[in-house]
């Protein structure tokens, strides 16, 4: 399956890859229905680049649309990712075997004349052990701090879209917008078989892409394009940071072997003056640590005299200590002493003593 993509290229690079600078209903309102729709050259409004695109997000797609009485022409448009079927289920992928079997009424309405191509610079897939992988083309290069290489490796996925008047359910009824889904195929025989049993249908050439989006070509003639790709892809595992769709930084696509903190290499380096100050602080810290180490070594080399430990008190020869304290008068109180008595203060003629002394 394909439920997450990355597209962060510039608007000019997207238009160059699409082969057109025309946008239809960039704001997402009344897509493909009004003759006076906006088809001006792109200024970038509405397209939001992201390292972590998920369902229900508005993304650019390429389609051939007929505007007014003009012939269908290739144009870019923003559409919502995810189509609600007649059963009310949100689907972000359409299986190729389901499209070919004519078993889905929702797909039968759109697969003949509402096909599109979805741009992406990579997509994410999770292994059976829940490890995320970023998959991209061989031409992809990691962007740097100066936003270079941001436009590399644009791929095109086969998709189908649903105009607003065919929608069963809309997320924003006040702002109707077309919705699209990505077509997937089996990964059997592809380079991604080890990762997942499904993968997106990737249109590898401009001829394949133009044939797929042409509404005048019957679906039966484009079915052959729905096949797995067995070469031309690369991948690496990424940080689980990408699991949360709201996370949208370069860390989503950075290889996990890049340990925490190495992302600073994507930012400008320090100046010479800053490096000089930093080096001086490091030297001072080393000197302080050296002084502490020498002091600790000097203290540890001095002999340590242990105090004697008294484990047993000496016996006393004073016989008075072992004599019981008795009352000499009724008004007198027993003598207070902190000394431990060897015999109890109970008289020998008490009933308890007499009872236990009997044999």
Tens digits of residue pLDDT in 237-277: 999 999 999 999 999 999 998 754 444 444 444 444 444 44
Q: Convert the pLDDT of each residue in 108-120 to its tens digit.
A: 889 999 999 999 9
For the segment 273-292, the average pLDDT, to the nearest whole number, is 48
What is the extent of the structural domain holding 196? 5-129+140-231
Work out the mean pLDDT of the chain and round it to a whole number: 76
Evaluate whether residue 278 is within a structural domain. no
Query: What is residue 45's predicted lDDT score, i.e. its pLDDT?
Result: 47
pLDDT confidence bin for 143, thresholds 50/70/90: confident
Residue 227 has pLDDT above 80, yes or no: yes
Residue 66 has pLDDT above 80, yes or no: no
For the segment 289-295, the average pLDDT, to the nearest whole number, is 54
pLDDT confidence bin for 42, thresholds 50/70/90: very low
Evaluate whether residue 321 is within a structural domain. no
Evaluate whether residue 252 is within a structural domain. no
Q: Give φ, ψ of 263 to 5 degrees.
A: -65, -15
For the segment 188-196, the average pLDDT, to the nearest whole number, is 91
pLDDT confidence bin for 357, thresholds 50/70/90: low
Evaluate whether residue 42 is within a structural domain. yes
- Between the ranges 82-86, 204-208, 334-338, where is the mean pLDDT highest? 204-208
Query: What is residue 145's predicted lDDT score, i.e. its pLDDT?
Result: 60
Residue 46 has pLDDT above 80, yes or no: no
Evaluate whether residue 315 is within a structural domain. no
Evaluate whether residue 38 is within a structural domain. yes
- Between the ranges 25-29, 103-107, 117-121, 268-272, where is the mean pLDDT highest? 117-121
Q: Give φ, ψ of 58 to 5 degrees.
A: -85, 120
Does residue 250 contact residue 143 with C-beta atoms inside 8 Å?
Answer: yes
- How far is it, in rounded angstroms, from Cα 94 to Cα 114? 13
Query: What is residue 40's predicted lDDT score, i.e. its pLDDT?
Result: 37
Evaluate whether residue 39 is within a structural domain. yes
- How far is it, in rounded angstroms, from Cα 56 to Cα 107? 18
Query: What is residue 288's predicted lDDT score, i.e. its pLDDT?
Result: 52
- How far is it, in rounded angstroms, from Cα 319 to Cα 161? 110
Number of domains the chain contains: 1
pLDDT confidence bin for 47, thresholds 50/70/90: confident
Evaluate whether residue 121 is within a structural domain. yes
Query: What is residue 35's predicted lDDT score, i.e. its pLDDT?
Result: 33
Q: What is the DSSP letter of 221?
A: G
Query: What is residue 320's predicted lDDT score, i.e. its pLDDT?
Result: 54
Residue length of the chain: 359
Residue 297 has pLDDT above 90, yes or no: no
CATH number at residue 209: 3.90.1680.10
Q: Which two tokens stand for residue 66?
A: 């007929």
């Amino acid at each position: 399956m394909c439920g997450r993509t990355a597209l962060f290229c510039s608007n000019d690079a997207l238009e160059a890859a699409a082969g057109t600078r025309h946008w239809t209903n960039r704001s997402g309102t009344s897509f493909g229905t009004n003759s006076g729709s906006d088809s001006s050259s792109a200024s970038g409004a509405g397209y939001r680049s992201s390292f972590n695109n998920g369902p229900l997000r508005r993304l650019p797609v390429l389609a051939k649309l007929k505007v007014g009485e003009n012939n269908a022409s290739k144009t870019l448009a923003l559409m919502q990712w995810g189509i609600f079927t007649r059963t009310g289920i949100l689907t972000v992928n359409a299986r190729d075997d389901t499209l070919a079997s004519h078993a889905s009424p929702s797909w039968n309405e759109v697969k003949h004349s509402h096909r599109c191509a979805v741009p992406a610079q990579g997509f994410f897939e999770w292994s059976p052990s829940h490890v995320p992988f970023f998959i991209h083309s061989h031409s992809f290069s990691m962007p740097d701090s100066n936003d270079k290489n941001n436009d590399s490796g644009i791929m095109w996925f086969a998709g189908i879209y649903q105009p607003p008047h065919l929608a069963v359910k809309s997320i924003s009824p006040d702002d109707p917008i077309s919705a699209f889904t990505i077509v997937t195929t089996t990964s059997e025989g592809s380079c991604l078989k080890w990762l997942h049993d499904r993968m997106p249908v990737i249109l590898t050439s401009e001829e394949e892409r133009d044939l797929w989006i042409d509404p005048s070509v019957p679906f039966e003639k484009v079915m052959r394009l729905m096949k797995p790709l067995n070469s031309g892809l690369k991948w690496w595992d990424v940080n689980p940071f990408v699991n949360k769709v709201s996370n949208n930084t370069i860390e989503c696509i950075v290889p996990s072997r890049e340990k925490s903190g190495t992302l600073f290499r994507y930012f400008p380096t320090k100046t010479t003056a800053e490096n000089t100050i930093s080096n001086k602080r490091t030297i001072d810290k080393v000197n302080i640590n050296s002084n502490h180490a020498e002091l600790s070594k000097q203290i540890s080399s001095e002999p340590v005299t242990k105090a004697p430990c008294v484990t047993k008190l000496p016996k006393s020869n004073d016989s008075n200590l072992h004599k019981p304290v008795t009352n000499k008068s009724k008004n007198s109180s027993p003598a207070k002493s902190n000394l431990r008595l060897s015999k109890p203060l109970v008289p020998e003629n008490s009933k308890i003593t007499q009872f236990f002394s009997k044999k």
